[in-house]
């Protein structure tokens, strides 16, 4: 090894040790100036000889370029959430269930503060950090490794004897001091400050440019593991955490062990008393059965372990005055009343707006403009109006209220379409789905999705730019886009983001991406009726219902003119779905968009109505779960539908059959609980082979 290589290796070790002491032990070992000199020397060595750069070099913490999207990551072991407890009685019931499940002994628990941040997973292979992802839906998250590398408390390489594979589960958070410092600097620059540390952490990890994330004061604590290979884990959770600490991973210093209900409540009281003095926000504490073998015996519910629970702190509350009630239209058309409040500090954050959830909540609270209200941050995050202080309501001389009750509007404030509320539901919705500006982006993303019109290359970021810069108002406008439009939009987006692409620096204009997108749009012009129906985004009309409607009516015009009674005749279309279909097509705006799609050349074959279902699986509802070797689940579903089955996405009492491939999860458990027939892939293949032969 050359002298330069030896020096580079030495510098990497010195910097890693300094980072560990500073960010994890809170005990700096060298002055900042010395640390900076090490970094400058290492950068110079690597610049002179790029072959000296290693994946775990501290110079690579901000080496990634801005991305247009995040890739999906399939978690090797699901990232489950925790059930919550809000009272001592609930905690006592949890402990009692644990004791009964393990034979009556008073159990030991690993206990720790519940950090108010964003759950992530880090994957180390042979000690090197190779992947990092968000929780997502628990099964699939987003790859944010470029952003996670910028967090200096996350080691790029584990210390000691590293295992072959170690997935570390933990929380990314923003320390209080860093949050306050960042906001002070942002205000000085004339920028918008972060709302609170939790939003700051989540928003920082969602930045497409890791250089932006690197400027945010983020930190990390580990609290568990996922997939592990090549490491014998300790017998207790608390000892396993110490193993992780020995590998260089940071842990919450308040983590310890407690016994029984009395120990848990004492820990809860202690952390609650220290809460305001802790250097990071917490919203409760977490209790985990310490003995790992007993954890495995107790197992899991559908989305949470039976052996762990989060004990939440009470929401923080304050009094203020309700100055107005506005309504907002959400991305799916949901009408949400929003309380405009006299500014008040709640839980360390100045609150001016709070959710009122829906019209039923307003009626339950009897909240009116001018009332004194109690506002709280539900879960210490989302401000909400909790109750009205009736004693302070302004009254007339005769004792009647001076302020009138609130009435939700009947017309959408964004697009003028009718607002409807289905009987039995609390949420009111705008019916102008394809036209409403508030729903525009969501409608476009759904329209372009793989199972709808399948427009390759049209991702969320492009949709946002197309709408924000005024190039697209409805889905039909996609088919009018030209190459010049897309290039101009990209230039404006780059100017907004302060980005100068390399091609522009070289005096060139990159157009391949735009040409590919236009090709994807053009290819989607020829589709099927069922895809069009699903792509329109009619509420509660999923893929299965879209297929049923396409078969039943044969053509779109017949469906658009169908009455409620005619829609109710379609199998599995009940009163709620039929009213939503009829309401959607009753809106002139939606009909105009459909006409514009046809005028733009979008076409689909139409045929005669098919109102009888035949085949050996006629009348049967089938659910597919897990992975199949012979073909994809989509292909398997199509084969089953060809034999008369209705393919559904979830298991219920109406399910006739579950086909379970490899790694089948909670759907298989539920099917067994309900006594539903279960086929493996071999049984499915045998059935398809038999009936393919009989129909040949």
Which distant-in-sequence residues (6+ apart) come within 8 Å of 161 by Cβ? Answer: none
Q: Which helix (H) or strand (E) holds 345?
A: strand 334-346
Q: Which helix (H) or strand (E) holds 132?
A: strand 128-134
> Distance (Å, rounded) from C-alpha 587 to C-alpha 417?
7
Catalytic residue at 114? yes
Of 13, 114, 288, 490, the catalytic one is 114
Which distant-in-sequence residues (6+ apart) come within 8 Å of 300 by Cβ? Answer: 80, 306
Q: HSE, CB side, 13 Å, CA atoms: give it for residue 221.
A: 22
> Distance (Å, rounded) from C-alpha 670 to C-alpha 39?
55
> Distance (Å, rounded) from C-alpha 279 to C-alpha 660?
48
Closest listed residue to residue 311, CA positions, set 86, 82, 81: 86
Which distant-in-sequence residues (6+ apart) come within 8 Å of 264 by Cβ? Answer: 91, 95, 109, 111, 258, 287, 311
> Distance (Å, rounded) from C-alpha 375 to C-alpha 365?
12
SS3 call for 139? coil
> Distance (Å, rounded) from C-alpha 433 to C-alpha 412?
11
SS3 call for 150? coil
Cα dihedral across residues 288, 293, 294, 295: positive or negative = positive
Tell me the DSSP string of 183-219. HHHHHHTTPPPPS-HHHHHHHHHT-SSHHHHHTS--E
Strands ordered across the beta sheet of 621-625 = 646-648, 621-625, 657-660, 677-679
Count of C-beta atoms within a 10 Å radius of residue 351 = 21
SS3 call for 680? coil
Residues acting as catalytic residues: 114
């Amino acid at each position: 090894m050359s002298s330069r290589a030896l020096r580079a290796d030495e510098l990497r070790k010195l910097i890693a040790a300094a980072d560990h002491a500073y960010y994890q032990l809170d005990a700096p070992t060298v002055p900042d100036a010395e640390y900076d000199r090490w970094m400058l020397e290492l950068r110079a060595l690597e610049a002179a000889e790029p072959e000296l750069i290693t994946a775990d070099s501290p110079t690579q913490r901000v080496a990634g370029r801005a991305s247009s999207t995040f890739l999906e990551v399939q978690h090797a072991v699901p990232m489950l959430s925790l059930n919550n407890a809000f009272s001592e009685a609930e905690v006592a019931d949890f402990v009692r269930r644990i004791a009964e499940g393990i034979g009556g002994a008073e159990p030991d628990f690993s206990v720790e503060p519940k950090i108010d941040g964003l759950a992530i997973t880090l994957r180390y292979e042979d000690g090197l950090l190779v992947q990092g992802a968000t929780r997502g839906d628990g099964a699939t998250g987003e790859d944010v490794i470029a952003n996670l590398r910028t967090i200096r408390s996350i080691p790029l390489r584990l210390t000691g004897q590293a295992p072959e594979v170690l997935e570390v589960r933990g929380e990314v958070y923003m320390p209080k001091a860093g949050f306050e410092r960042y906001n002070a600097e942002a205000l000085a620059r004339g920028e918008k400050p972060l709302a609170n540390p939790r939003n700051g952490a989540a928003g920082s990890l969602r930045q497409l440019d890791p250089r932006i994330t690197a400027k945010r004061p983020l930190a990390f604590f580990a609290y568990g593991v996922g997939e592990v290979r090549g490491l014998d884990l300790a017998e207790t959770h608390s000892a396993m955490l110490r193993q992780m600490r020995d590998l260089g991973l940071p842990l919450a210093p308040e983590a310890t062990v407690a016994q029984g209900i009395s120990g848990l409540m004492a820990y809860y009281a202690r952390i609650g008393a220290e809460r305001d003095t802790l250097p990071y926000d917490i919203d409760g504490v977490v209790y985990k059965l310490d003995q790992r073998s007993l954890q495995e015996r107790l197992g899991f519910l559908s989305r949470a372990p039976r052996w762990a629970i989060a004990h939440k702190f009470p929401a923080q509350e304050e009094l203020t005055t309700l100055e107005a009630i506005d309504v907002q239209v959400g991305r799916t058309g949901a009408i949400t009343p929003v309380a405009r409040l006299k500014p008040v500090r709640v839980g360390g954050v100045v609150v001016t707006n709070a959710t009122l959830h829906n019209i039923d909540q307003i009626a339950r609270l009897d909240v009116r403009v001018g009332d004194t209200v109690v506002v709280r941050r539900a879960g210490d995050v989302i401000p909400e109006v909790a109750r009205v202080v009736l004693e302070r309501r302004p009254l007339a001389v005769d004792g009647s209220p001076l302020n009138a009750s609130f009435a939700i509007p009947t017309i959408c404030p964004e697009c003028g379409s009718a607002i409807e509320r289905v009987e039995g539901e609390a949420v009111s919705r705008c019916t102008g789905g394809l036209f409403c500006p508030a729903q525009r982006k969501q409608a476009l993303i759904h329209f372009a999705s793989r199972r709808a019109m399948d427009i390759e290359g049209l991702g969320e970021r492009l949709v946002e730019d197309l709408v924000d810069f005024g190039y697209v108002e409805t889905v039909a406008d996609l088919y009018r886009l030209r190459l010049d439009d897309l290039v101009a939009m990209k230039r404006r987006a780059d100017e907004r983001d302060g980005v100068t692409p390399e091609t522009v620096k070289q005096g060139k204009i990159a157009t391949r991406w735009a040409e590919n997108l236009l090709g994807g749009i053009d290819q989607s012009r020829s589709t099927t009726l069922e895809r069009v129906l699903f792509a329109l985004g009619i509420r509660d009309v999923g893929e299965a219902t879209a297929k049923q409607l396409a078969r039943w009516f044969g053509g779109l015009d017949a469906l658009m003119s169908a009455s409620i009674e005619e829609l109710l005749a379609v199998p599995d279309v009940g009163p709620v779905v039929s009213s939503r279909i009829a309401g959607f097509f009753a809106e002139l705006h939606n009909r105009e968009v459909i006409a514009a799609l046809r005028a733009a050349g979008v076409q689909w074959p139409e045929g005669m109505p098919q109102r009888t279902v035949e085949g050996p699986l006629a009348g049967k509802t089938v659910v597919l779960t897990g992975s199949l070797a012979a073909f994809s689940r989509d292909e398997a579903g199509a084969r089953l539908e060809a034999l008369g089955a209705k393919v559904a996405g979830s298991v219920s009492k109406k399910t006739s059959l579950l086909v379970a491939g490899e790694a089948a999860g909670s759907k298989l458990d539920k099917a067994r609980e309900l006594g539903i027939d279960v086929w493996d892939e071999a049984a499915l293949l045998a059935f398809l082979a038999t009936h393919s032969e009989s129909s040949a």
